[in-house]
Amino acid sequence: MHVLLPDGKQLDLPEHATGADVAAAIGPGLAKAALGLRVDGRLSDLQTPVPAGASVQVLTGRDPDVIGLMRHTLAHVLAQAVREHLVAEGHGAQSVRLGIGPVIEHGFYYDFDLPRNLTPEDLPAIEERMRAIIAADLELRRSEVPRSQALARYVELGDPYKVELIEDLPADVTISFYEQGGEAGFTDLCRGPHVPRTGVLPPHFRLTSLAGAYWRGDERRPMLQRVYGVAFREAEALEKHLWQLEEAKRRDHRKLGAELDIFVLDEDIGPGLPLWLPRGTVIVEELERLAHEVERRAGYQHVRSPHVTKEQLFIKSGHLPYYEQSMFPAMVIDDQRYFIKPMNCPFHHKIYAARPRSYRDLPVRLAEYGTCYRYEDHGALMGLMRVRSMQMNDAHIYCSEAQFEAEFLGVIELYLEYFRLFGIDDYVMRFSKHAPEGLGKKYVDEPELWLRTETMVRNALESGGVTFVEAEDEAAFYGPKIDVQVTSAIGREFTLATNQVDFAIPARFDLTYVDEDGQRKTPLCLHRAPLSTHERMIGFLIEHYAGDFPLWLAPEQVRVVPIADRHVPYAEQVAARLGAAGLRAEVDAGNDRMNAKVRAAELKKVPYIAIVGDKESEAATVSFRSRKEPQRQGVHLDAFAAHLAAHARARAGAVTPLG
């Protein structure tokens, strides 16, 4: 047989030649340096036979992709080390059962079923053993085993996890094992690829955390213990990664939220129920103001609805069977079950239905920043990102099928406009579709409507030139949706904006309009939340800006610092003048020295510090230092106020320095 090398040459090889044979055939130097193989663009290893006719490239330590092999092998080394660690305590080797140990971003993990729980104190000892296994330079040998033999082996070992894995593999697939260190070492069912021996593994790894993880991600299955690790080829990369984790802690919205007096969570109130402090409320209200302005231009009307409603409303909407476990439990009033609303849509449907609608009314766009309550699992709560009380940036658009595409793209344009404003460029549009198996369970049982609506969405996206990825089995129960997945400045990923198509519920509410031809027709409904919930949006923005908000969002825009007590009256005048210009300014009249006041204002990340002393009060000027532009002296108060007001009004992301 032969394979194709990157330079276009053909290399003749005996049948069943492996990656190692390829490297050896090219040259002894390469054979020594080889760590892995790329076969038809995919990672493979030296131990695996090469398919005839494949394009192959031998990978050495210089190739950035070999870290993938290294991380995978480190997962095996971790598993061996955990077993040794527990066997050394007297546990039987078979009591250490293995789940899976894949490569993930930055590193690897391995899932175990163990005779005792690991604690963080175990990690250094396990890491130590890992380093010993690396120092021992064990060879990783690959072997192919018939399915029945592989199965028998794990049945005998009493390992239900591996048995299940093998049983789930197709009957015709090659089952391979990787073994390191012989009998005394470690063998694992594994598809590979791996590095050839443990000695080539980099020392730049660290076990980072312990966690529980359900076997195969299923909450009905046993919980295994997962050990996470990170690994890099270069020491600097590991250091950089660890530094980024530290940096992430500094930017964390929970830490900054407390330091900047934005919100608090109080045990007496309850988990996931944040209190907005005055400074945080300023930000919420700025977002509301922004949305109001944008939506007024886009033809939305604002409505309001109550926080509680009779059960009947959610029975009619069909939410109850799909959603009740995510709602606060019902309360009984006058022998009726009432719920606190988890979403606004049924109310908006009722508002739509409050009077007859003509095709001339469409599209009807009803917006409300209603506060909703969802019973999220305790373990899911996270600062402002995952809460139980939330204010949706909500609206529902009722339109005809003919209007659908324009309305749908209008919504996408809306959230792109917001993203431009906030400088959000790291996002993915995810087109979430149903899965046929879920019909009647997770999804309303309307197979042809699903397909039709999904086609409409895909057509709209394509005609709008929007790039997107598709996700099976991620739809809402009433229709497909677009979720915008963003990555925050500290690498947290979550859904911000959402745009959902609802082909089911308008009919349940008997929503109709009279069309041109006099026929009553059912409108489509778009659910949209381009600013997500205000909780999540602000949590995201805190991290995005590291608390250093643009002027228009800054809770306090100017801190006026009088140099001495005699300057306080002038400082008050300055603050009043700024207030009259629509700016948020506060005077620090305390008896600290100016330096301390400047520091205090900087720590609160106030964008402008206006310093006023004798010179300023005599000439009606301010001297300022700013996080946004170079420091200036003797700027006339009116010019200063106008400069800031103009930038705040424009919601400018960056400030043009005062000329």
Partner RNA sequence: GCCAAUGUAGCUCAGCGGUAGAGCAGCCGAUUCGUAAUCGGCAGGUCGUCAGUUCGAAUCUGACCAUUGGCUCCA
- The verdict on 453 binding RNA (CB under 7 A) reads no
Shorter beta-carbon distance to RNA: residue 380 or 650 = 380
| Residue 124: its H or E element | helix 122-135
Structure tokens at 502: 């609802």
Q: How far is the CB of 606 from RNA (least distance, A)?
A: 11
Residues 227-286 close enough to bind RNA by CB under 7 A: 254, 258, 265, 267, 270-272
Q: Give the one residue of 260, 563, 585, 648 binding RNA; rule: CB under 7 A.
A: 563
Among 532, 549, 554, 578, binds RNA (CB under 7 A): 532
Closest C-alpha among 657, 633, 634, 637 to residue 647: 657
Nearer to RNA, 186 or 468 (CB): 468
Binding to RNA in span 612-631, by CB under 7 A: 612-616, 623-625, 631
Tokens 């400018």 belong to residue: 652
Closer to RNA by CB, 138 or 574: give it.
Answer: 574
The answer to whether 138 and 194 have CB atoms below 8 angstroms apart is: no
- The distance of closest approach from Cβ of residue 447 to RNA in the complex, given in angstroms and rounded to an integer, is 20
Residues 496 to 525: which contact RNA by CB under 7 A? Answer: 496, 498
Q: Which of 284, 351, 598, 644 binds RNA (CB under 7 A)?
A: 598
Closer to RNA by CB, 286 or 483: give it: 483
Give the nearer residue to RNA in terms of CB position, either 136 or 619.
Answer: 619
| CA–CA gap between residue 231 and residue 68 (Å, rounded) | 9
64 binds RNA (CB under 7 A): no
For RNA, give the closer residue by CB, 205 or 540.
540
Shortest Cβ distance from residue 597 to RNA (Å)?
8
DSSP 533: B
- By the rule CB under 7 A, 105 interacts with RNA: no
Residue 213 binds to RNA (criterion: CB under 7 A): yes
Identify each DSSP E strand in 250-322 by its residue range: 263-264, 275-276, 301-302, 308-310
Q: Which residues, 298 to 317, sit near RNA by CB under 7 A?
A: none
| Cβ-based nearer residue to RNA, 36 or 229 | 229
Measure CA 260 to chain center: 23
| 84 vs 588, beta carbon nearer RNA | 588
Query: Which positions from 353 through 412 interact with RNA, judged by CB under 7 A?
Result: 374, 376-383, 385-388, 390
Helix, strand, or coil (residue 304): coil
- Our CB check for RNA shows the closer of 47 and 498 to be 498
Site for RNA in 2-61 (CB under 7 A): none
Binding region for RNA (CB under 7 A) out of 138-146, 171-179, 405-413, 589-597: 589-597
Stretch that binds RNA, among 5-13, 362-370, 446-454, 595-603 (CB under 7 A): 595-603
Site for RNA in 316-345 (CB under 7 A): 326
Under 8 Å CB-to-CB from 57, ≥6 apart: which residues? 5, 6, 37, 38
DSSP 656: P
Shortest distance (Å) from residue 417 CB to RNA: 17
In the complex with RNA, the residue whose CB is nearer, 403 or 623, is: 623
Please give the helix or strand (H or E) that residue 76 lies within, else none. Answer: helix 66-87
Q: Are 223 and 214 in contact (CB under 8 A)?
A: yes
The pair of structure tokens assigned to 633 is: 């002296």
- Tell which one of 533, 538, 587, 643 touches RNA (CB under 7 A): 533
Examine residue 591 and tell whether it contacts RNA (CB under 7 A): yes
How far, in Å, CA of 399 to CA of 523, rounded?
A: 5
Is 472 an interacting residue with respect to RNA (CB under 7 A)? no
HEC-encoded secondary structure of 291-302 = HHHHHHHCCCEE
The closest alpha carbon to 205, from 62, 67, 46, 60, belongs to 67
Query: Which residue in 219, 425, 448, 517 binds RNA (CB under 7 A)?
Result: 219
* Residue 269 falls in which region: left (phi positive, over 0), alpha (psi -120 to 50) or beta: alpha
Contact 102, 96 (CB under 8 A): no
Sheet arrangement for strand 308-310: 308-310, 336-340, 331-333
Measure the CA–CA gap between 573 and 571, rounded to whole angstroms. 5
Q: How far is the CB of 19 from RNA (least distance, A)?
A: 32
Query: Which tokens sit at 480?
Result: 């497909």
- Decide: is 590 part of the binding site for RNA (CB under 7 A): yes
Q: How far apart are CA 137 and CA 323, in angstroms?
A: 54
Nearer to RNA by Cβ, of 348 and 536: the residue is 536
Do the beta carbons of residue 429 and residue 468 sit within 8 Å? yes
Part of the chain binding RNA (CB under 7 A), chosen from 152-160, 304-312, 328-336, 593-601: 593-601
Strand pairing report for 558-562 and 585-587: parallel
